Structure 1
Amino acid sequence: MAEPLFQQLQKLQAEFHGHPPVERWNPELCGDMDMVIKSDGRWIHEGTEIRRHPLVKLFASILKREGDEYFLVTPVEKLRITVEDVPFVITQVARNPGSTHQQLLFTTNVGDVVELSEEGQWQLRDFGAPPQPIPYLEIRGGLQARVSRDVFYQLVDWALEGDRDTDKLYVQSDGKDFLLGSCN
C-alpha cells in the first residue's frame, strides 16, 4: 500500500500539464535582471525577497539554463539572473514501499514533482562549509535541485532499511540503486 503522500504526489504529477517550452525559445539577450536565487531556495528581486509563492512559481516556469548561466525567457525576451547554487531545493520525498519496485517521488520548493528513475538525474556534489557530498536531482532541462537536509535524512533512514555489506549507502527507486554517500 502506497503512503498517502505518495498517492497525492502521483495524482499531482498526472494532472500536471507541463511548463512553457523554454527550450524552444531563443530570443536575443536583453540584459541582466537584478534577481538572485539564493542557495536556500529564496528568490530575491532588487534586494527584496519575493514572498508570493505563485509569482516564484511563475518565474521558475520560465527559467532556462545555458551552460553555467541562468535566464528568465519568453518568446521575445531573455534576461540573465544569478543562481548561487542551483535554482531549486527538494523539500519533500515520498515512496511506495509495498510495490515490487519502490519509487521515490521528490517535490521541489516550487512544486515540481519528479520521480527518480534514471542514473543521469542523480549526482553527489560538495555543498556547505565544510563541503559535504549532497545529492542533486535534475528536475528538467538541465535545471537541478539540491536535496534538503530533512529529505536527506529521510533517504538515509530508508537506505539503512536495506541489508548491505558495504561502506556506502544507497537508496532504491525504479529498481535502481542511487548512491547517498559513504558510511565512514
Structure 2
Amino acid sequence: MTETFASPSQGLDALLRAAKESGEAGARPVDKWNPPYCGSIGMSIRRDGVWLYQGSPIGRIALVKLFASILRKDDDGKTYLVTPAEKIDVDVEDAPFLAVELAASGEGRDQALTFRTNVDDVVTVDAAHPLRFQESEPDSGLKPYVLVRGRLEALCTRAVYMELVALAEANDEDVEAVGVWSGGVWWPLSAGASSAVTRK
C-alpha cells in the first residue's frame, strides 16, 4: 500500500520559499509565530541526523539547514516546521540535531564546552543550554544531549561523547562522582541527574 500524506496548502516548494522569506540566515523567530496546523507532508529526521522527505533523503545540506532554521518543538512534545503561514509535522526518531564537534577551553570551574551541530549551530553548555544524559538501550551506556534552542536538543555522536568522557573529572565537593564543568555549572555524567553546583 502506498502511504499518503496530508497536503498543506502551500506544499514543499512553497514551504521552502516561505522559509527563505521569513528572515535572515540562522534560526527564525518561530516561537513568535502561531500559524494553523496543516498536518504532515512526510518529513522526518532519523537518529543519525539524516532528513527525509517522503522516505527519500534530502541530500542538499543548504536545504537541511533552511528547514532546521524553522524547526520548533512545542509543549505537546511534537516537532514541527513552522512558518508564519503554517505548521507541519516532523517525525523525529531521536533528537533533531547531532553534536558533531566539541571544543573545550579553560580549566576546572572556568571550563567552557562548546558544541557544533550537524547544521552548524554553535552552542556553549551553560544554565540556558544544559547538558543531560539519558540511558540508552540496556547495557549500551549513556546518551548525552545538549539543548540548542527552545526545546530542540542535539544528541552527541559517539566520537563527541568519548571526547566528553575524556574531559570528565571528580567534583571537589563530591556532589556527584564524575562530571564536567561548563558555564560555571557542574554537569554530572549520569542519567537523570541535574546540575548541582555553580561557580562561586
Q: TM-score, normalised by structure 1?
A: 0.80
Shift of the alpha carbon at 1:124? Answer: 1.4
Aligned to 1:8: none
Match for 1:177: what amino acid?
W
Residue 88 in structure 1 maps to residue 97 in structure 2: yes
Match for 1:41: what amino acid?
G
SS at match of 2:116: strand
CA contact (8 A) 1:122 1:135 kept: yes
Shift of the alpha carbon at 1:122? Answer: 2.0
Aligned to 1:22: 30
Of 163-172 and 98-107, more deviation after overlay is shown by 163-172
CA contact (8 A) 1:23 1:64 kept: yes
| Mapped partners of 2:35, 2:107: distance in 1 | 48
CA contact (8 A) 2:44 2:92 kept: yes
Shift of the alpha carbon at 1:99? Answer: 8.9
| Mapped partners of 1:121, 1:158: distance in 2 | 17
Match for 2:67: what amino acid?
F
CA contact (8 A) 1:156 1:169 kept: no
| Mapped partners of 1:89, 1:26: distance in 2 | 27
Structure ID, larger Rg:
2
Match for 2:136: what amino acid?
F
Aligned to 2:77: 68
More strand by share: 1
Residue 41 in structure 1 maps to residue 49 in structure 2: yes
| Mapped partners of 1:122, 1:98: distance in 2 | 18
Shift of the alpha carbon at 1:159? Answer: 1.2
SS at match of 2:41: strand
SS at match of 1:155: helix
Q: TM-score, normalised by structure 2?
A: 0.74
Residue 118 in structure 1 maps to residue 130 in structure 2: no
| Mapped partners of 2:49, 2:172: distance in 1 | 34
Aligned to 1:107: 116
SS at match of 1:32: coil
Q: 2:189 aligns with which of 175, 180, 184?
A: 180
Match for 1:97: what amino acid?
G
| Mapped partners of 1:83, 1:70: distance in 2 | 7
Aligned to 1:7: none
Aligned to 2:8: none
